[in-house]
Each structure stands twice: as structure tokens, then as C-alpha cells.
Structure 1
């Protein structure tokens, strides 16, 4: 008898990859994200509790897609910022690779936080906006922005120190 994960994979991998391909319009990205979805499913320790496999996989895949799109947007913003720099200031290939790794690490640290918390933190740290400017942009109070940034910084500290979530 096959274990539940292998059965789930065998019965749904092709379907999930097709589902992702329709949303991404890229076979390679769809294959990568299908792999990530099954990896997260395996790590979830909920295999015995899945009543609707495709609904469960869609939920996980949507989270994986969101992370993928968010990281692509972060990288695109960074590349736009680099493109606006004078040639002698732009980072080398090695510096770019290190900066990209750092951005991905920051993104991973912020993973799991509410979108407004992440957004406020990134606007403050990457765009250099003040709490007042962020509050105006997000239609909230500066006090809320301050709380959100503190929460994001705390999350970064917890992840950095290996204290778990």
C-alpha cells in the first residue's frame, strides 16, 4: 500500500501543474511551484486530515503563487532602482547576487505577516518613506504604521535569531 503523500502526488501532480501553468503561462515556473506546493504539503503534517485533496492543494498553491509573485515584484522594484543609478554606481554581478539573496532573506523573514505590515515595512526600509507618508499612502494612522513596522522588525529579529515563529 502506498503512503498518503505518494498517493496524493500520483493522483494530483499533473492536475496541479496544469492549474499553475494556466495562472503563470510558464511551464518551468509551474513545475517549480508544483514542487514547492507538494513540499509544503508534506511539511504540513496534515496528510491524514485532507478530505478534499484538490481544494487543499489549491489553498497551498495559492500561497506559493502569492509568495512567487511578491518576490518577483520585489526583484522588479529593485531592478528598476538599479536601472536608475549611474553606471559607475550600479552593483557588480556578484554584488547583485548578494543583494538578491539579502532581499529574499528579508522576504522570507516577513513571510506570514499581514500584507499591510509587510507593505509598511518595505515602504519604510526600501523606499525610505516616513511613517506619515506611509500612513497617507495606506490610508491609516501614523501610530498604526509605527506598530506595523515594529511588528515586522520583531519578526525579522525572531527569524534571524532562530527563535521560531
Structure 2
């Protein structure tokens, strides 16, 4: 039986680390997914992916004696950082002028329509849109405020504008 390796992958000293990480993943991933689904419901894919990305980044120098406890601690830390990010985003958006108090022209019906379109945007897109268009922040400032990359800000703004334009054409 021959070993098949993906193109562009070489065996190096990092392969032991990769093998150890792969072993952790194969052994504990089904357990982790089941545990998180029981706790958070069916939408856990992003969380599981984030956990394994963090484990891959920090696992190299660690002697993990209790992998399940370690994985749950990483999940807990991600949840904490997500909560902090959510609170920070909420503070920033609360400090910006609320949509309800903004005067939109030219007519009241158009203002209501635009407000409804903006409020209907998914939260991440709406946050970027509001900070850019109503808060006057640059992409770099928005990225810093929300704790995301400028490229993510750019992508979200493009999506938000496309969704707004599509709704306005209806």
C-alpha cells in the first residue's frame, strides 16, 4: 500500500505536529461537534472550525493531557472573545446616531423604505454599512472598531450595497 500525499505537501519536522493534530481531530472532533450541538443547537460549524484553527495555532508546544477539557476551554475562550466583540460592536453602534433619528430625504415614504432596507441587512453587513455611511468611518477605522480585517470590511460593504441596491430596484 503506498502513501498518497496531496500535491505540494512535503514531509518535514512539521509533519509530526500535523500528525498529532490530525490524531486529535480524528479522535475528538465527533465528540466536540456532538457536545457543542447539545449546548448551542445545530448551527455550530463556524465555532467548531474556529476551535480547530486555534488548536492548530497553539497546540505545537503543548503537552495536552486532557484533550476534551482543553477543547472545551478553547470553545469557552472563543465564546468569551465573541461576547466581548459583540459588546464592543454594540457600544460602537449605540454611540452612532440611531437610524430612527436620522433625517432622510426626499420623502417620508422613501426614508421609511431606506430605513427598512438597512435594518433588514444581516447584522455584520449592517454594522459595517451604518458605521461607513452614517458614522463616516473609513474601512480601516471600521476594521479596528469591529476587530475585523479591512478586507472583511470591504467585502461586507460590497455585499451590503448590493443588497440595498437590489431591494431599491424592487
> Which structure has the bigger radius of gyration?
2
